[in-house]
């Protein structure tokens, strides 16, 4: 219940400050518009649209998901969290907030993307659904722990995408591959290895995050 209470605090805070929602919304609109304008009337190869979807998702995540810890650090309120909850509670609460934000953000991106790009046709919907769920979980876990790390640093804005890129690269590569599989209608047998990698990524990231967070949070 304590992590949920922290999530509720962040949710109410977000409604009042619009720290993440505004930047995320603007970024999604801008990113999709830039891709649309740059393509123009050209016919885009089908496998490229799957890759472009993950480019939009990656950079949108970079623009809003650091909020979990950076806003507390910037406003000087992280000391309150130190004084009212255990590190595990803080991480769980922030992870819950980022999970919901990532899912909402990516559902909006995927719906807009499907509506704007005719070539983006999913033939194996269940495979895409599984990829979407597993990738979003991985994205939320990785972005939460990276946000915790960079919140203590100086140039937060620059450091976040730079540090995120190598950590999220395996996730993005597998997600792009599985998305293109679901677009060509490949079977689950073909995608089995990719899905196993995504599950492993999520489990490893979650374990490492819990192991690291105490050290990151304390000093």
Partner 1 sequence: MNKYYLLAEDISKKFGRRLIFNGLNFEYNHNGIYGIAGINGSGKSTLIKIIAGIISPSSGKVIHKLDDKVIEEEKLHNYVGFVAPYLIMYEEFSAWENLTHISKIRGIEFNKELFNSLLNDFLLIKRKNDLVKTYSSGMKQRLKFIFALMHSPKILLMDEPTSNLDDEGKETVYRIVNREGKNKIIVIASNERTDLDMCSTKIELEDYKK
Considering CB under 8 A, how many residues would be counted as binding partner 1?
A: 27
Residue closer to partner 1, measured from CB, 90 or 174: 90
Residue closer to partner 1, measured from CB, 8 or 192: 8
What residues have CB less than 8 Å from 17, skipping those under 6 apart? 71
CA 131 to chain CA centroid, Å, is 13
C-alpha 121/C-alpha 116 separation (Å) is 11
**Alpha-carbon distances, residue 37 vs 31, 57, 117 (angstroms):** 10, 18, 12
22 binds partner 1 (CB under 8 A): no
Residue closer to partner 1, measured from CB, 7 or 201: 7
C-alpha 6/C-alpha 10 separation (Å) is 6
89 binds partner 1 (CB under 8 A): yes
Q: Pick the binder of partner 1 from 46, 47, 88, 114 (CB under 8 A).
A: 88
Contact 72/199 with Cβ under 8 angstroms?
Answer: no
Q: Pick the binder of partner 1 from 26, 36, 86, 111 (CB under 8 A).
A: 86
92 binds partner 1 (CB under 8 A): no
Q: Pick the binder of partner 1 from 77, 187, 200, 207 (CB under 8 A).
A: 77
What residues have CB less than 8 Å from 104, skipping those under 6 apart? none
Query: Element (H or E) spanning 42, and its range?
Result: none
55 binds partner 1 (CB under 8 A): no
- Interacting residue ranges for partner 1, rule: CB under 8 A: 1-2, 5-6, 8-9, 12-13, 16-17, 75-77, 79-89, 93, 218-219
């Amino acid at each position: 219940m304590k992590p949920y209470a922290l999530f509720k605090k962040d949710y109410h805070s977000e409604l009042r400050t619009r720290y993440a929602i505004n930047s995320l919304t603007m970024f999604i609109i801008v990113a999709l518009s830039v891709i649309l304008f740059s393509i123009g009337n050209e016919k885009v190869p089908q496998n490229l649209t799957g890759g472009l979807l993950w480019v939009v998702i990656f950079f949108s995540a970079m623009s809003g998901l650091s909020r979990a810890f950076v806003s507390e650090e910037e406003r000087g309120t992280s000391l309150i969290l130190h004084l009212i909850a255990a590190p595990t509670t803080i991480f769980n609460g922030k992870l819950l907030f980022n999970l919901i934000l990532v899912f909402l953000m990516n559902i909006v991106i995927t719906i807009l993307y499907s509506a704007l790009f005719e070539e983006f046709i999913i033939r194996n919907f269940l495979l895409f659904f599984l990829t979407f769920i597993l990738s979003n979980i991985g994205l939320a876990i990785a972005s939460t722990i990276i946000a915790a790390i960079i919140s203590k640093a100086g140039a937060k804005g620059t450091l976040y995408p730079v540090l995120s890129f190598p950590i999220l690269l395996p996730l993005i590569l597998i997600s792009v591959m599985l998305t293109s599989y679901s677009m060509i209608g490949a079977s689950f047998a073909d995608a089995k290895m990719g899905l196993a990698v995504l599950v492993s990524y999520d489990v490893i990231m979650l374990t490492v995050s819990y192991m690291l967070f105490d050290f990151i949070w304390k000093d």
